[in-house]
Amino acid sequence: MSSRISGFHKLPLKRRLKALKAFSGLSKDDIKILTHNSALEEKTADIMIENVVGTTQLPIGIATNFRINNKDYLIPMAIEESSVVAAASHAAKLARESGGFIATSDEPIMIGQIQLMGVKNISKAKRDIVAKFNEIKNLVNNNDSILEKLGGGMKEIEVRSVSSGRGDILIVHILVDVRDAMGANAVNTYCETIAPYLEKLTGGRSVLKIISNLAVKRMVRVRAVWKKALIGKDVIDGILDAYELACVDPYRAATHNKGVMNGIDSVIIATCNDWRAVEAGAHAYASISGTYSPLTKYEKNKNGDLVGMIELPLAAGLVGGATRIHPIAKISLKIMGVKSAKELAEIAASVGLANNFAALRAMVREGIRRGHMKLHETNIAANAGGHDEEIDTVARQMIKEDMITVSRAHEILKTIRSDNRKKAIKRIIKNVEKKVSHKKKK
């Protein structure tokens, strides 16, 4: 079944849910949870974090049209911002004409850091640690036989040193294959297990023993082509110009990458993965050269089509944490039909590239305010205090005038309500006159 569902956004909620159920094989109970305001039960929330007093929700939209590695997807996106889901869906629709998104990713290797202070002979300590690699590896893998049986566990070790205001620091990196987990718990446990051994081996004192969210061993790369015939030569040139500004100016690069993370975060949040870790890793990687740079890259191919690419570290998991506890997270994974953490990361990165392309295209064609606000008019009307039918009336009038602002919404609302009051008064007067006339006749 294709994820290209024409007019999906125009369908009533019941029909959208019917289409989603048919595509993903959701049960009646799945649909009930998706549409119920208390999907996350209080007792479950109480397990997840401390001091629970309730839960909050974000809207979940479905990005349509996505084809990634020759497989069709409907993708849940949890976000409060208007236009993001629509933009991703349209970008994916345009990319389908060239085969969609092609994604690759590294093995799920996470880095654990052990900080050693007070090591007297750094050079000797480095050699000793490398020489004892097998002993160190056995020390942790024997304690986590399940992960090792699944093909994971500690794989390599790296040692480096840096100078600081507190003296020289010996940093030991352990590289752990975490399989389908995000990996924080396993890696942190490994680091804490190894630290006492390293203290004895080096004569140093361990301080931090924790995962690094700069997951450069766990990279994702996605490529897509948008044909010149579909988006136009002028738009392609405009996107390339805008991309160049992001390459040379960190003020623009920050906003450029925010557009990328609109898409990535939405997928990560929908699956209850750690979006703060993903954000930290993405922005750290954007700065790894010493200058904050865009996470995406754009160029023309020999046909003059636009080629978009993204590369970034992206650690997402299917097991552990909230992903297997939160009911919406479980349904989100079911909708996408993902089989591995690698696949989930490739999906999220594809959505990030789609949203970045869509934002650039909107800016160079009509300006981000106009393109964005056309999809934001109902929120503006509601923020101005509109209710029920008023919201649609205000939204239509703002679109007609091309003045989509809160102040204009207030003015339109005031006029509508004034007119309604006048009509109501006229009706009352008319009814009174009818009653008086009826009494006179009697």
Q: Which residues are catalytic?
A: 81, 258, 274, 372
DSSP letter for each residue of 355-420: HHHHHHHHHHHT-HHHHHHHTTHHHHHHHTT--THHHHHHHHHHHHHT---HHHHHHHHHHHHHHH
Paired with 110 in beta bridges are: 176
Q: Which helix (H) or strand (E) holds 230?
A: helix 228-231
Residue with tokens 């009930």: 32
| Contact of 184 with 286, CB cutoff 8 Å | no
The alpha carbon of 128 is separated from its chain's Cα centroid by a whole number of angstroms, namely 42
Tell me the CA distances in angstroms from 199 to 54, 137, 141, 371, 403, one per residue in order: 44, 16, 19, 58, 66
Burial of 340 (0-12, 13-18, 19+ CB in 10 A): middle
- Please tell me the distance from the alpha carbon of residue 93 to that of residue 97, in angstroms, as a whole number: 7
- Please tell me the distance from the alpha carbon of residue 68 to that of residue 354, in angstroms, as a whole number: 12
- Please tell me the distance from the alpha carbon of residue 11 to that of residue 15, in angstroms, as a whole number: 6
Read off the amino acid at residue 143. N
* For the chain, counts of helices (H) and of strands (E): 18, 10
